[in-house]
Amino acid sequence: MTVGVPRDIRAYAMTREQARDATLAYCKTWLEEYRDNPRLPYRQTFLRAIGGDLNALRLILTDKNYHTGDNEAWQDAQWPLLNAVGDERFAACLNRLSREDRKEYSGAVVRPYVPESQLEAYARQHFPRVWAIYQREHKKT
């Protein structure tokens, strides 16, 4: 057993407001306050994406300037971003991406570290469109 890792998907459930707050905390801590990052409109772009702007969400997903250099924080940021944006808009954005990017960023739906059966049930219920894209893009051939 890994210490400190929740074993239940309910530990990852969040309201849209909580998801928004977590997403903006990532933005502030890892993008706005990090001196080596270029000065970009991070907060405005995240707020537009949370508000449903697919172009802003696409920019966040595909422009590495909106990711952290350590990868772990960016990986962890994708779950609240998915929750803040919502299934319909996130899936619509994924469908506009290249296959390679769609495969990578549909993985946001599987970021929580919980038993696979819990994750699948939760994703099917709360993020059915993103889950379907993830399944399609990650099917084993």
Sign for the CA dihedral angle at 60, 64, 137, 25 comes to negative
Return contacts of 131-135, CB within 8 angstroms, 24+ apart. 132/91, 133/91, 133/94, 133/95, 133/102, 133/106, 134/106, 134/107, 134/109, 134/110
**Extents of the domains making up the chain:** 15-137
Residue 140 pLDDT = 61
**Tokens, residue 28:** 């502030």
pTM: 0.89
- Say if CB 71 and CB 106 are below 8 A apart: no
pLDDT given for residue 6 in this prediction: 60
Listed residue (62, 55, 60) closest to 43, CA to CA: 60
Mean pLDDT by 10 residues, the chain (141 residues): 59 90 94 88 97 97 88 87 96 96 90 80 94 89 50
pLDDT for res 36: 84
The pLDDT value given to residue 1: 39
Which residues lie closer than 8 Å to 87 by C-beta, 6 or more apart?
Answer: 126, 127, 128, 129, 130
In the prediction, which pLDDT does 132 show?
A: 96
